[in-house]
A and B are shown apart, each in its own frame.
Chain A
Amino acid sequence: KNEVEQSPQNLTAQEGEFITINCSYSVGISALHWLQQHPGGGIVSLFMLSSGKKKHGRLIATINIQEKHSSLHITASHPRDSAVYICAVPRNGGGADGLTFGKGTHLIIQP
């Protein structure tokens, strides 16, 4: 079964700072998911990526399949980016599998 490690667990930064959240996993995968969860809120899918890099607005996700590592970056961070960011991978590596989740990174952006 896949295991997921995320770092940091908690991150507090000032508005405008560049943010990086890291994720590593143990078993080769078809794709990795980055998700966002606001306090008391549901989970929103940000990215699903299997190689290289994806960008959506101020969010950038990269993955290195060989090293089993992914990063989520936020440029020009804003207080509304404050949330828990979760990395998830297929439990057994395949695209149809249920996901194994990291413990999440609790991000706070201060104005």
Chain B
Amino acid sequence: GAGVSQTPSNKVTEKGKYVELRCDPISGHTALYWYRQSLGQGPEFLIYFQGTGAADDSGLPNDRFFAVRPEGSVSTLKIQRTERGDSAVYLCASSLVASDGHRFFGPGTRLTVL
């Protein structure tokens, strides 16, 4: 597709479970960003990949959160032992090259932890 895609669009899980959220960036985009948006708030930065490596993971809230991008395209955000406070929309964005700055956002995955 032409844009950033994210799957699933909605995910409902129970407290304590493990979840994986997937992001497919625009083909050829080297930079990939994960954000989290709670209800009524602006997005918060989680992690940024340049190619396969995490260039900045300082936004990850704790060690239950982890993200990978093994081949420099698709990325997976992994959350262990989910808590109700993890409920949010998880947004992914990509950029052709990091320094270019133009960001293209995916539609988000709405995560609900019961």
Contact = CB atoms under 8 A, between A and B. Distances in A.
Interface of A: 30-31, 33, 35, 41-45, 48, 86, 88, 91, 95-104
Contacts of A31: 101
22 contacts: A33-B101, A33-B103, A41-B107, A42-B107, A43-B43, A45-B102, A45-B105, A48-B101, A48-B102, A48-B103, A91-B45, A95-B98, A95-B100, A96-B48, A96-B99, A97-B48, A98-B47, A99-B33, A99-B35, A101-B42, A101-B44, A104-B42
A41 B101 CA distance: 22
A9 to B, nearest CB: 10
Interface string B55-75: 110010000000000000000
B103 A45 contact: yes
